Structures are given as structure tokens and as C-alpha cells.
Amino acid sequence: MGFAAYWSRGNLVPVLLGLATLILLLCAGKLNFSRSWFAVGRVVDSSLAMRQEIQYALTLMCWLALEGGRRHSAEELWTDLVFAAQRLGFSSVKMALADGDRVWEETNSCSLSTRSFTRFRRAFRDPRTEGPCL
């Protein structure tokens, strides 16, 4: 190919590059490790599904922050926190309070995948001014 490019004084370089790319793609399609590279549709679908799940989690956390602004104590927020944890697929929740810890664990957690998330406690804030929804 290099000789053909030299012989044509560079006029055939675009054609030769296209031909080399075509040969490379055809050879790569025959190899097992490169087949996943060409699965663009599966990668895009997976990415969109993950994006929807993340958007749902952010919306649910926004709701939880707004609900926290309406509650008068952390004890009242406990049921909403457990609900959010169940909807997000968590198997346990632990909330540290001044008088002790509250722990919830899924009783029938037969799921093989577990999610864990640790967040340090922050003081109660006004969600209308500085919540995760803004």
C-alpha cells in the first residue's frame, strides 16, 4: 500500500486509507475479543437505562430532602427514609440519632446484588434554599 501511495504521488492515499480501514474492520470482526467493541447498540441501551435509574434516584432524594423540611424530627422522617431505601434497592439503612441508632434491614433480601451508600450526617437544612433539587 505504501508503494501504491508513493507511485500515485499521494493521489490514492484517501482510497488506500479507506481500504486499509475496511480490511481492519473485517479482520477485527472475526476475532472474539473485538466483537464487544461493535456492540454499540447494547452499550447505548445500557447507558440510557443507567441514566434513567440515576435520574430516579436523584428525584427520590430530592423528595426525601423536601419531606425532611416538612418533618419536625428525625424520628418522623424514618419511615420516609426506609421507603426511599426500599425503592432504591438497598437492603439496610442505619440512621444515627442523638439517643441511639435506628436500623432497618430487609427481611427477605435474596438479591445477589447489594448496594451500599455511606453519607455523613449533616445538620437539617432548609431544602427550599440549599437542597439537592436546586
pLDDT 10s digits, 26-37: 777 677 665 666
Q: What angle do CA 10, 16, 20 make, to 5 degrees?
A: 145
Asked if 102 and 35 touch (Cβ cutoff 8 Å), the reply is no
- pLDDT value, residue 117: 54
Which residues have a Cβ under 8 Å from the Cβ of 82 and sit 6 or more positions away?
Answer: 93, 104
- pLDDT value, residue 36: 63
What is the distance of C-alpha 67 from the center of its chain? 24
pLDDT 10s digits, 14-60: 888 888 888 887 777 677 665 666 677 777 888 888 999 999 999 99
- Measuring CA to CA, which residue among 99, 63, 54 is closest to residue 81? 63
